[in-house]
Structure 1
């Protein structure tokens, strides 16, 4: 029996329709569940439970042909009725809560109509055009209606999908055990079983991999790149697409002036932040999404520190003698938030910019305050969706005023968003998003800081393997270990 053990910092199940970008949860979900479409290595989407589809010219109607004969782990058929149940559950306004923000998916799927056209054919009709609907459907885990209806609050009993592995045991916070689903439509899974265990620290995870207690360890210290021998281990560093930022209060206060926001972006030495705060384990961020995102402009010029121009802009905004910004700061997520605030303030000090700190240890309360637009002048935050459309919708578009919108308005960007919503061609839509990227460099809504670089290790040599671009360990794509 071939089983593998994976060590990561957190071991948890969640509701399959909770909105999360957490790689430690998504790796488990990716083994348990299938979706209509799945991410491909190039960042696009390919077949999964749906084998083919059509999209209307106005990007409002999507019609899918489903695989026939697929069964849930409880033996129930996965047919058009089951797909309809799962998608309508995902679209409920009380679903998709993340860090206190309910209805994340409902803001896209409100008014969704799902028609059963045949046992293996469904049609989705949206209230508004969404050419990037696959960004949402890639997280639309198709669950067994019978299992969910019987589950109550039992997360383990909701974890009944059609994926290549089925849940065997769940010990919250400590251990998740899966067993192979040999009848999966992709063929027999690579492993007979997969187990996730919690490794409390990066060092302990590295030691567990080195001593053979686990086969894969995620979130290793950078020292593992040199300390784990290449003859016995595959150790890779990869870009984490979550953007580390400071969100400005663009509705009131000093940061409501675009000159102030641009000045602070020009005053920052991002590489120095990466070196000083992360010990080099990061990459400077020069736009509203990471370089791994579809729609990021690889040819856009990076920000370079220009204190003279920053001073000029601050003076023009009436802050030639400096200013004090009220900074809202959590104690975790990011865990380096307070050290980051110190380092940013030190870099801004030549301009006379200071922070008055408001520290919040309760991360859920912190997220709720951000959602309620109560961030003082600026707050330490992150932006995690892999979808450029979701970032623009939830954080940038002033007409939507989404969960994480902080008063920013840019009519030129909003016009591009409107065109992109109805542009079915991926190539044409990408060009529109690259225009957004440039505009959001010229008039930044946030202080762009960095992306983390993470380290993962696998037992054995696997030169053909690489981490998926969204930073999630894809159990289906792992090599034999």
Structure 2
């Protein structure tokens, strides 16, 4: 497969003359980006761009290149009372939505109340579990009242704000706004052809300043190899590619190779209900028998770090460097023996006549997850575990979460609560969507996550996350594999590109173009 990919890419480069495609007639600066992910909708209430960089919207706060919170629609960072139960934001004056409607505190209240409305199918409602009430004592003040102290609450005020009047008489779940939004952001949506492309136009009346790049076109191509070919043929000015494909541009004149660190993990979610994997010793054995460094060296071409928990090394205040699984196939085999899964004469393990079997699923169009799944399957096979690898869809991965393992992704570099709580706390076991997909239940993990979530003392939180990581290592629900470096290929024609540690989401919103409104042509 890799040979075929290489030939396809070389052929495309040959067509492109292995040089930068020629520019057309001069005009307003524009850019065409090959994106690997297309949003389901463009409504922040339903879950679009909750961590900022939304292009079409602004939140109360945003983040700079160092991930420090900065005021956006709030004139200064929201302030919390000493008990952490009340947060107050003062709005910037003179801000208007792209249709000319002035921003009001009531728009902020509407946005957050709608996220929590049980009639609204918001995918991010669990982020705001701590929020009891949001109100507007006047047109420029917003007050958030919490059910319990929640130290990272300010991180969740990056959500884009929508105009409440746009939803008068509308069902938020199906409103026209969801594909043709109105925001306060630096761009407006000019066109969206689902499954193909989205065209953004500069908001010339933006309250900050109008972007220098006047048109941004995102072309959605989920297949990695297809994006590589179309980048090589000159169709794109920038795209995201797996490290090996991106590496073919190293040193190529006229192109820039960008490698951004991220808290974006890829990991094997291990179902806790299977007879084979219900024993924690088996799950520790699987983690111990996987050669993560070999995956980084080969599959990622060095662009990543080994993972053991969902807390990224870039969460430096919370990350425990002792929380790791060193590769040791002998130790893994001994743990499997201890759990009763013993090798037979055929080299396969079994217990009481039942084979040690763990099917592994991955989304078909994702070549990186395919390579990781194959690498895991190979390592497990060496331990005597039957681990067939199967291409499928995310929908089927969710449907089969009780019976198969799957290669999932996620993570962010903002706070360990958002990285770990909904993923591993037992209260989310069995709930729909991308929460606790392994149906994990560990009382020590629950207690540590609850303590860290509800305490304002940084020292207490730090110790709670150390306790969480140690409890998890003894009873893992996943085999977290790697934290990725995101790799991009770009035409070398833009100023203003800044590195930022990225979250899992790097399609239309984050990625190297997280601050594209501040770019300018060279």
Correspondence for 1:256: 278
Distance 1:112 1:221 in 2: 44
Residues 130 and 148, structure 2, Cα contact 8 Å, conserved in 1:
no
> Which of 392, 398, 415 is the matching residue for 1:367?
398
Residues 91 and 141, structure 2, Cα contact 8 Å, conserved in 1:
yes
Residues 224 and 367, structure 2, Cα contact 8 Å, conserved in 1:
no
Q: Does 1:154 align with 2:176?
A: yes
Q: Taking structure 1 as reference, are residues 293 and 154 closer, same or farther at Cα in structure 2, changes over 3 Å only?
A: farther
DSSP 3-state at the match of 2:267: strand
Correspondence for 1:63: 88
- Structure 1 residue 184 displacement after superposition: 2.5
DSSP 3-state at the match of 2:325: coil
Correspondence for 1:137: 157
**Structure 1: which 4+ aligned runs deviate by more than 6 Å?**
25-29, 461-464
Q: Does 1:394 align with 2:394?
A: no
Residues 156 and 170, structure 1, Cα contact 8 Å, conserved in 2:
no
Distance 1:261 1:29 in 2: 37
Correspondence for 2:403: 376
Distance 1:344 1:57 in 2: 48
Q: Taking structure 1 as reference, are residues 439 and 123 closer, same or farther at Cα in structure 2, changes over 3 Å only?
A: same
Post-superposition CA distance 1:95-129 (Å, at most 9, x none): 455xxxxx541463476311112111011112343
* Aligned positions of 1:302-341 closer than 5 A: 302-321=324-343, 322-323=349-350, 324-327=356-359, 329-332=361-364, 334-335=366-367, 337=369, 339-341=371-373
DSSP 3-state at the match of 2:78: strand
Q: Taking structure 1 as reference, are residues 409 and 270 closer, same or farther at Cα in structure 2, changes over 3 Å only?
A: same
Distance 1:465 1:199 in 2: 23
Distance 2:459 2:31 in 1: 39
Residues 274 and 284, structure 1, Cα contact 8 Å, conserved in 2:
yes
> Which of 135, 155, 180 is the matching residue for 1:115?
135
- Structure 1 residue 345 displacement after superposition: 2.9
Distance 2:240 2:489 in 1: 6
Q: Taking structure 1 as reference, are residues 55 and 301 closer, same or farther at Cα in structure 2, changes over 3 Å only?
A: same
DSSP 3-state at the match of 1:70: coil
Segment of structure 1 superposing worse, 151-160 or 38-47? 151-160
- Structure 1 residue 247 displacement after superposition: 1.6
Post-superposition CA distance 1:199-239 (Å, at most 9, x none): 56556645655665443323366354453646533211234
Correspondence for 1:459: 491
> What TM-score results when the alignment is normalised by the length of structure 1?
0.84
DSSP 3-state at the match of 1:222: helix
Residues 307 and 480, structure 2, Cα contact 8 Å, conserved in 1:
yes
Correspondence for 1:43: 67
Residues 332 and 363, structure 1, Cα contact 8 Å, conserved in 2:
no
- Structure 1 residue 412 displacement after superposition: 3.3
Q: CA RMSD in A?
A: 3.4
> Which of 57, 63, 66 is the matching residue for 1:33?
57
* Aligned positions of 1:164-179 closer than 5 A: 164-179=186-201
Correspondence for 1:244: 266
Correspondence for 2:519: 479
Residues 243 and 300, structure 2, Cα contact 8 Å, conserved in 1:
no
Q: Does 1:284 align with 2:306?
A: yes
Correspondence for 1:346: 378
Q: Does 1:6 align with 2:33?
A: yes
Distance 1:225 1:11 in 2: 24
- Structure 1 residue 143 displacement after superposition: 1.0
Aligned residues: 467
Distance 1:120 1:75 in 2: 17
Correspondence for 1:436: 468
Distance 2:489 2:268 in 1: 31
Correspondence for 2:146: 126
Distance 1:31 1:145 in 2: 19
Structure 2: give runs of 5+ residues left out of the alignment: 1-27, 344-348, 351-355
Post-superposition CA distance 1:225-271 (Å, at most 9, x none): 45364653321123443321122223452322222111111111112
Distance 1:362 1:198 in 2: 17
Correspondence for 1:80: 105
DSSP 3-state at the match of 2:333: helix
